[in-house]
Structure 1
Amino acid sequence: MKHAFKPLLVALTLLAVGCSQSASDSKTDSADGKKLVIGASMLSMQHEFVVNVHDEMTKKAEETGIELITVDAERSAIKQVEQIESFIAQNVDAIILNPAEVEACSPAVSKALAANIPIINVNSETGVKPTAFVGSDDVEAGRIAMQYLADKLGGKGNVVMLEGYMGQAGQLKRAQGAMEVLKKYPNMKMLANQTAEWDRAKGMALMENWIQAYGNQINAVFAHNDEMGLGAVKALVDAGLKDKIMVVSIDAIPDALQAMQKGTLDATVFQNAQQQGAKAVETAIKAAKKQPFDKETLIPFQLVTKENMAQFVKK
């Protein structure tokens, strides 16, 4: 399972190369007349949301006639720094980084900047500021999710929180937003919070442990992404507790919307993978061509409930 996406990545890279060779030379030529080459290091192609972002990057690369070289960091900050070093050695025109960690991936950004290669962070942040950032405000996502639970629970109850990779911007900021809301409700308590590393199976196992430890004390679950949320849902359904415990998560991936249609997931928070992927490539092209670009592009999150979910379901 760990290497399942590697043939896909090779195919996508070859496809991007093929498209760039056949595309009109007038589209994205660099100053010296050569085709623009953008290197992209993605956090993990095992995660559906990351794959969705990458799909849009590939689509935009094909549309604009650039060459997009993609590598999978497989959740490793160390590997990601090495991948950026490799892109620098290849003298790519720009780099797109989907960081695995805030601090451990910062050297990658520093190295690119030192080499005068524009580096665009997509979806997640680093301690060192890149050339530009394209993503969403994860604090906002945490606030939206926890506020939904507070409203539904009437400001009273016990919550457990499944967190993303420790030290990643999404984990840190979504937890921050959730805790900001909890502070406003003295009758709401965080029973437990722990990482399940964005993973569905790990989310299920963690939820099973919490059911053993807390049982009927749990009133609601906040998962930092849909994958972990769906794992928690499975554990609750298996334990016969889903009707008593609410679950809200983040991303609005198709599986989450299906679960909402079935009534097993209560709500999710939509994160726009399409806009993040497309804007990242657009920004990288502008930076490489020394054209004006936005140093920060923030795309709003949106709460998805049974009432408005129809607009988020892909036809």
Structure 2
Amino acid sequence: MGRRKLCGIAAAGGMFLLTGCSGIFGDGTAEPIQSMKIGICTYDQFDTFIGTLVEEFKEEARQKEQETGVTITVEVVGAGGKQNIQNDQVESLINNGCDILLVNQVDRTDTTMVIDKAKNADIPVIFFNRELVREDLERWEKLYYVGVKTLESGVMQGEIVVDLCSGEQGIAPYDKNGDGRLQYVMLEGEAGHQDALIRTEYAVNTITNAGIRLTKLDNEIANWSRAQAQTKMNQWLEEFGDRIELVLANNDDMALGAIDAWKESGKPYMPVVVGVDGTEAALDAMREGTLAGTVVNDTEGQARGMMELAYSLYFQTPLPDDIELEEDTYIRLPHTVVTAEMLQDLE
């Protein structure tokens, strides 16, 4: 059995005895807790994907309330990309009586303050979306992570491009200058962010390993931002113009920023643009034919995993059978590829 195996203590009639109590019945038996409070700290409240994930979590909390009769209060704060602000927010949520913390860490390499504050208050932390280094997650037994299988997103993004070029004409429809290569630019999410690093590396490797020759024109950090990506793309359009044949973006917002810039430029030829996340705005762009494809980052599945794990930790009940806690620490969800052609077939 793992050191943090979640288990319930079976009582008569198949019920679970909760270790925390809000009071005592007249006969001396424990009165089960009827409420829990969850604090959510996001790295940036204006991030499209994170905002969607938080809304999905709130819906999961509402459903859990209906299923169990337990009142679940959710308090959400955003740090605006500043780790020192997030540290203060964690302390505030602890002081406000939160029973479980869900933290979308600003700086995944600077976790000491968050972990120490939670540990001192004996409040479990579920980190999400931004995976900590293993050594930090091993610092205390009440630290967990919910996210996706990061490597998949980069591989699948590359596969979208490979599939586009797998027809009889190969890369010819996209190789506008006819040099037998695809000239590309890369919009990276954030310096040092694990997802950005892995998506960048594996997207390119997947394409080249399939025998498609690439020439990198440039790569830039755009911090997951549509506006920043649009600015970067405007600069590239000035420098490279129609030489750009492929745009790889670490997330959908940056892919959409590149599309925004191209639309404003008035250029007749749109390069192949591929994103990651599967946001509604990205699906709309695929419907209009400007985004070639995306890799769906399962917000619903992650939100459910976070809610079920939080509930299980607080009430010491088992996780549902279909949710696996890997190494007693990790819940990981798979990605799904969606292309414009697939979307048309579905609709």
Fold shared per TM-score above 0.5: yes
Counterpart code for 1:143? V
1:131 equivalent in alignment to 2:143: yes
Q: In the alignment, which of 253, 259, 276 is matched to residue 279 of structure 2?
A: 253
Q: In 2, distance between residues paired with 1:49 and 1:306?
A: 20
In the TM superposition, what is the alpha-carbon distance from 1:312 to its structure 2 partner? 7.8
Alignment RMSD:
2.7
Q: TM-score, normalised by structure 2?
A: 0.75
In the TM superposition, what is the alpha-carbon distance from 1:208 to its structure 2 partner? 0.8
In the TM superposition, what is the alpha-carbon distance from 1:182 to its structure 2 partner? 4.8
What's the CA shift string for 1:253-308, capped at 9, x where partnerless? 11111111111111111111112122212111111223345232211111111232
More helix per residue? 1
- Aligned partner of 1:31 in structure 2 is 20
Counterpart code for 1:32? C
What's the CA shift string for 1:27-50, capped at 9, x where partnerless? x98712252111110122212211
- Aligned partner of 1:54 in structure 2 is 54
Q: In 1, distance between residues paired with 2:77 and 2:197?
A: 25
Q: In 2, distance between residues paired with 1:111 and 1:190?
A: 44
In the TM superposition, what is the alpha-carbon distance from 1:101 to its structure 2 partner? 2.4
**Closer, same or farther: CA 36–233 of 1 in aligned 2, 3 Å:** same
- Classify the secondary structure of the residue corresponding to 2:76: strand
- Aligned partner of 2:115 in structure 1 is 109
Q: In the alignment, which of 69, 79, 87 is matched to residue 81 of structure 1?
A: 87
What's the CA shift string for 1:87-134, capped at 9, x where partnerless? 334452211111222212454134424543211112221222172221
Whether the aligned pair in 2 keeps the contact of 1:30 and 1:36 (CA below 8 Å) is: no
- Classify the secondary structure of the residue corresponding to 2:240: helix
**Closer, same or farther: CA 110–200 of 1 in aligned 2, 3 Å:** same
1:231 equivalent in alignment to 2:257: yes
Q: In 1, distance between residues paired with 2:310 and 2:251?
A: 27
**Closer, same or farther: CA 246–97 of 1 in aligned 2, 3 Å:** same
What are structure 2's unaligned runs of at least 5 residues? Answer: 1-14, 23-32, 66-70, 172-180, 320-324
Moved segments of 4+, more than 4 Å = 310-313
Q: TM-score, normalised by structure 1?
A: 0.82
**Closer, same or farther: CA 150–110 of 1 in aligned 2, 3 Å:** farther
Q: In 1, distance between residues paired with 2:205 and 2:123?
A: 38
**Closer, same or farther: CA 208–133 of 1 in aligned 2, 3 Å:** same
1:148 equivalent in alignment to 2:173: no
Whether the aligned pair in 1 keeps the contact of 2:291 and 2:340 (CA below 8 Å) is: no
Counterpart code for 2:129? N
Aligned-pair identity in percent equals 27
What are structure 1's unaligned runs of at least 5 residues? Answer: 1-25
Whether the aligned pair in 1 keeps the contact of 2:270 and 2:290 (CA below 8 Å) is: no
- Classify the secondary structure of the residue corresponding to 1:120: strand
Counterpart code for 1:234? D
**Closer, same or farther: CA 309–186 of 1 in aligned 2, 3 Å:** closer
- Aligned partner of 1:307 in structure 2 is 341
**Closer, same or farther: CA 264–186 of 1 in aligned 2, 3 Å:** closer
